[in-house]
Structure 1
Amino acid sequence: MSQHVRNGGDVVVETLTSLGVTHVFGIPGQHALGLFDAIRRSDLEFMSSRVENNSAFGADGYARVTGKVAVMFVSTGPGALTSLGALQEPFITGVPVLVISSQVPRRGIGGRKNGLLHQVDDQQKSAQNVVKSTAVVLDAAHIPTAIADAWAFAQTVPAGPTWVEIPQDVLLEPAPLPPVSSTVVSIPARPARAELAEEAARLLSGAERPVILAGGGVRRSETGSKQLLRVAEAIGAPVVSTAGGKGAISFGHPLSAGSWIEDRYTTELLEEADVLLAVGTTIGEVTSNYFTFAPKGRLIQVDAEPRALGSNYSGLGIHGDAGLTLEAIADRLPMGSEAAREQGAQVAADLRARVEQRLAAQDLETELALMHALRDAVPDDAHTFWDMTIAAYWAWSAWDPRDGEFHSAQGAGGLGFAFPAALAAAAGSGRRTLAVSGDGGAMYSIAELATARQHGADVTWLIIDDGGYGILREYMEGAFGQATATELARPDFAALARAFGVPAHVATVDNVGEVVARTFAEPGPAVVVLPALLRMFAPTHLDGHLD
């Protein structure tokens, strides 16, 4: 065997190592072999999925749990393109992922019919809808800067995926530069403009019925939760969490009004605020209760993504990181009174009580029992991952993350997120996770049982089997009186899991909590199958009235 000559693939791996990267996700491919061969000579740990979109979901989950930039290697053409559907989720949700894709040799880039395997006319253009930036590196000397810039930009708020392409020949040719041992990285802050923070503080301090809507941007900001509490306690404002904002304020805090964003009582509370402070949320389709929300007072909207400001509702728009902006507002607020905090706490408690009364008046024993059983079964500090399934729609509103974190595919709404994200998060963090999927969504991820077994990931996968796409069935029956194309032939999920060497259990609603709890006491992956037909709660009384 000839002696190895250091090449562009080595420069990539050296650069990643100098940035502190420890894990890489992806699937090998012909044009990317130089990347994967270089991993062999490094300390990087590689997790190979079975389908590229699941590599992207895995990178997303890893980044959410660890707080690090997740790195993914994909190969040219079919591999790169297959990853794009899953990259839409971290792009919309704001999760830092760095994708390093191979390319055809330099002579073939931009060629339409060169006869090169995997060739795409413009691979960058395909990625641009779901990443923050793209770059093509045509010389090994440019690799460290291109990767460092993309790594930093992935974290710059609003965070999201970035994309770097390196042609096959650049990865394989000798690299005439010294080994990379340092990188130059600059991550700009996003503070609010002083006059906007001043105006927000003036409006909030004069409000009689202030309310705060906390979105995912609060959670993702390093100081978001801390500064949210400062503002809420200063003005005595009840805080409603969006699905993405769960955990921004503890559900146990007196000012927490929960996250029942699809219930009209919550929508009404937001509407009746004389000043509503919405932070880190677009007030989008779900958060606005499907655009039934119609604010009557002043709206202050804070977001790190300038395009989000005023995109659905007009108001005072403040471009800035959630934590830095809330800090600037809190610094300008007078000391809050105990009476105001007590009043806000009473409003929050009343709202949650009214929602519970509405639920109790509906025939939802199965769904409520399932949510309670799972919450009791899963450790308080566990990270949970939820696919687009009826149980997840319930969890958007009902799940209390306690000391852990709640993650769902609610940003882009794609199927197949939960299991690959949870298993990569478990493998990368060393902590057991829970994934919840329906039987339809489970089929998107079923191949990753092999990944979970290969890497010994401590992940529990709960598959709720209702024989089809349950939420689409419910939507279509409600809209058209009957459903079409929602019923599915599916495997015996427990037997299939065992065929992969993964322990599997079939549960009932009565014992699912016990079964899930047992898997948290055992090492390695586990599957729990729950045959159950769930349905959604009604956001108003069945006659459509609020009261």
Structure 2
Amino acid sequence: MSRIGGDVVVETLRALGAGTVFGLPGQHALGLFEALRRAPDLRLISARVENNLAFAADGHARARLDADPHGPVPVTPMIVSTGPGALLTLASLQESRAASVPVLGISSQIPVAGLGGARRGYMHELPDQKAAFEGVVKSVHTARSVSQIPAALRAAWESAATAPYGPVWVEISEDVLLAPATGPAITTATAAPAPPAPFADEVAAAADLLASAQNPVVLAGGGVRRAGAHAELLALAEALRAPVLTTFGGKGAFPWHHPLSGQSWLEDTRSRDFLADADVLLVLGSGLGELSSTYHTLRPRGRLIQVEADAGKLGANHEGLGLHADVRPTLRALLDVLPRRAPDGRAESAVAGLLASVRDRLDAQPLDLERQVMSDVRAALPSGAPSFWDMTVLGYWAWSAWDADDAPMHSAQGAGGLGFALPAALGAAAAGAGSVLAVSGDGGAMYGIAELASAVQHRLDVTWLLVDDGGYGILREYQTSAFGQTHATELARPDFVALARSFGVPATLSDVDSLRADLAEALSAPGPGVVVLPATLRMFEPTHL
């Protein structure tokens, strides 16, 4: 068969740097999947449900960014069909948008003749499919002829890869994907995303504030990780003698056990007050949203400097000196002009006091079970193994307690949807991340249980820890705290061990005493595995805001 529009899509993706494509076929997307069949050098990873496919693409991009934050931005293509297939990706793309993950969604469309509002009764037809995506992704692109495909894909790729990273959407009609391709094969395609650079005047103003500060504190967000600015942040903190706290999305941006590390106990009011007491608070790569500001109760009493690649987040929650820029070049510019302070032990003492107060608060609560489980999960991970967490009680613990040094952590805290952990972990495994851990509760697990079949099909090294407490545990906590009782949180569920084994996945029914050994054994075995822990875990007591 001669070249068709679908081949031009595949050629352009390959030329832009794609090596793996996540895809789930459908009637209108046949031209794309025929082209993928003829491109054996592009690895195709499938899923059983489109929303899980999008989560898998998200996890793949995150794992590649962790592996090489200074390399080409790891835009990950995902291909689905029209209408229902496309719409099922929306909740997952919301997470990618909130967490600034570069996913390139490509969808088929009904024939060109049916676009523009005409209602001709095509299968999967929507009045305006792309309008459904415009409020979720960074940008939407359309190719209505074969000749428009390369430019549309290049523009979308560049949009996804420009800080702040994020998901983008491309639509190509069925008849365009099947139409003959008469132009030359696409072998070169260059996308040139340019990270926003800081203005020199703003850098100078920020440097003046920091140089004169008596009690500077840094809050490092996910933008530090995505920019690969770990070394620059460490150098800045040591030059300023400034404590560093990380947001949940910024975990791993600063060494967990460094004497200046205040870690990430942001749901504790002591951390909130520690940030508020700074005479200059330097916020790097964070919009100071709900979870990073202790549910919008943070009230900085000093000057605030915010460095953020997403212009819409500058000053959205707190006024201050805002620098619309990528974190890494901004920190480099600051390091060029900031004087280096001699250590006097004050910052280290303040950090030690903060962490001691957090420990005292935990020690005063009956949380031995939860702290043991958290410790055992962390200890079971091999060096460098990433983990992906659902919105579950243990995941909420990990936001605060997880030591991400040499153990990158990702969660669905950007948008807060369920079902993220397993498919995202599968995507990371497909990126060559080695042994990968996924953590879910029994409620969230049911969103993605079908992807055990995908794990088997693609032989992906993912161990899934499933904490079975018989319901939506974190919602139990919320409802009980607010109303003293619960409703609609208790769930009927399957025998997860038997169900996993029915997929051909090794599964272990664990307990608290054997969890560490069971997890370590599963993580060391090739291919997928499941460890089920029947346990009801509690959150530490809600902070008094």
TM-score range, shorter chain: over 0.9
- Number of the residue aligned with 1:461: 464
Work out whether 1:83 is the aligned partner of 2:89: yes
Structure-1 residue corresponding to 2:36:
39
The answer on 1:180 being equivalent to 2:186 is: yes
Q: Could you list the per-position Cα deviations for residues 3-58 of structure 1 after superposition, in whole angstroms to 9, with x for gaps in the alignment? A: x0111000010111112211111210000010001011111111110000001100
Is 1:511–2:514 an aligned residue pair? yes
> Could you tell me which of 9, 14, 22 is aligned with 1:25?
22
1:74 to 80, 85, 96: 80
Aligned equivalent of 1:276 = 281
Shift of 1:539: 5.1
Structure 1 residue runs of 4 or more that deviate by more than 4 Å after TM superposition: none
CA offset at residue 391 of structure 1? 0.4
Amino acid at match of 1:34: G
Does the Cα contact within 8 Å between 2:306 and 2:323 map onto a contact in 1? yes
Show the counterpart of 1:353: 356
Deviation at 1:338, TM superposition (A): 2.2
Local SS of the residue matching 1:33: helix
Residues 387, 410 of structure 2: 8 Å contact kept: yes
Shift of 1:111: 3.4
Aligned equivalents of 2:476, 2:542: Cα separation in 1: 18
Distance (whole Å) between structure 2 residues aligned to residue 111 and residue 88 of structure 1: 26
Structure 1 length as normaliser, TM-score? Answer: 0.96
Structure 1 counterpart SS, 2:293 = coil
Indicate the residue corresponding to 1:264 in structure 2. 269
**C-alpha offsets along residues 158-206 of structure 1, whole Å, 9 cap, x if unaligned?**
0001111110011101011011111132211211111111111111111
2:125 corresponding residue in structure 1: 119
> What root-mean-square deviation, in Å, do the aligned CA atoms of Structure 1 and Structure 2 show?
1.1
Q: Structure 1 CA distance, aligned partners of 2:386 and 2:121?
A: 46
Match of 1:328 in 2: 333
Secondary structure in structure 1 of the residue aligned to 2:417? coil
Tell me the secondary structure at the aligned position of residue 338 of structure 1: coil
Percent identity for Structure 1 against Structure 2: 54
In structure 1, give the amino acid aligned to 2:283: A
Which residue matches 1:450?
A: 453
The answer for the alignment partner of 2:159 in structure 1 is 153
2:70 aligns with none
CA contact (8 A) 2:386 2:433 kept: no
CA contact (8 A) 1:112 1:120 kept: no
By how many angstroms is 1:252 displaced?
2.2
Deviations 1:128-186 (A, max 9, x none): 12111101101111111111111111010000011111100111010110111111322
State the alpha-carbon separation in 1 of the partners of residues 139 and 494 from structure 2: 40
Deviation at 1:337, TM superposition (A): 1.4
- In structure 1, distance between residues paired with 2:368 and 2:475: 22
Aligned to 2:3: 6
Q: Does the aligned pair in 2 maintain the 1:449–1:497 contact within 8 Å? A: yes
Report the CA distance between 1:428 and its aligned residue: 2.1
Which residues in structure 2 correspond to 1:87-102 (within 5 Å)? Answer: 87-102=93-108
1:366 paired with 2:363, answer no
SS at match of 1:520: helix
- Pairwise mapping of residues 209-288 of structure 1 onto structure 2 (< 5 A)? 209-222=215-228, 224-288=229-293
- Equivalent residue letter for 2:421: A
**Other structure's SS at 2:44 match:** strand
| Separation in 2, partners of 1:284, 1:185 | 31
- The aligned amino acid for 1:499 is S
Contact 1:380 1:402 in 2 (8 A): no
What is aligned with 1:489? 492
Number of residue pairs matched by the alignment: 536
Counterparts of residues 185-204 of structure 1 (less than 5 Å): 185-204=191-210
Verify the 8 A CA contact 2:225 2:252 in the aligned structure 1: yes
Note if 1:434 corresponds to 2:440.
Answer: no
CA contact (8 A) 2:279 2:303 kept: yes
Tell me how far apart the structure 2 counterparts of residues 137 and 128 of structure 1 sit (CA, whole Å): 16
After superposition, the C-alpha distances for 1:455-501 in whole angstroms (9 at most, x for unaligned) are: 11100000101111111111011111111111111111111000111
- Structure 1 window deviating more from structure 2 (49-58 vs 312-321): it is 312-321
Aligned equivalent of 1:304: 309
**Structure 1 residues 187, 255: closer, same or farther in 2, change over 3 A?**
same
CA separation in 1, counterparts of 2:435 and 2:56? 15
Deviation at 1:336, TM superposition (A): 2.1
Q: Could you say what secondary structure the match of 2:245 adopts?
A: strand
> Residue 20 of structure 2 contacts residue 44 of structure 2 at CA under 8 Å; is this kept in 1?
yes
Alpha-carbon distance between aligned partners in 2 of 1:440 and 1:215, rounded to the nearest angstrom: 29
Contact 2:385 2:433 in 1 (8 A): no
1:290 maps to 2:295: yes
Q: Please, which runs of 5 or more residues in structure 1 have no aligned partner?
A: none
CA distance in 1, matches of 2:190, 2:366: 59
Describe the SS at the equivalent of 2:291: coil
Give per-residue Cα distances to partners, 1:96-141, cap 9 Å, x unaligned: 0101110001001123421100011111110112111101101111
SS at match of 2:301: coil
CA distance, structure 2, for counterparts of residue 174 and residue 76 of structure 1: 21
Residue 49 of structure 2: aligned partner: 51
Kept in 1, the 8 Å contact 2:98–2:415? The answer is yes
Within the candidate set 408, 411, 414, 1:411 is matched to 414
The amino acid that maps onto 2:14 is: T
Residue 63, structure 1, aligned to residue 61, structure 2: yes
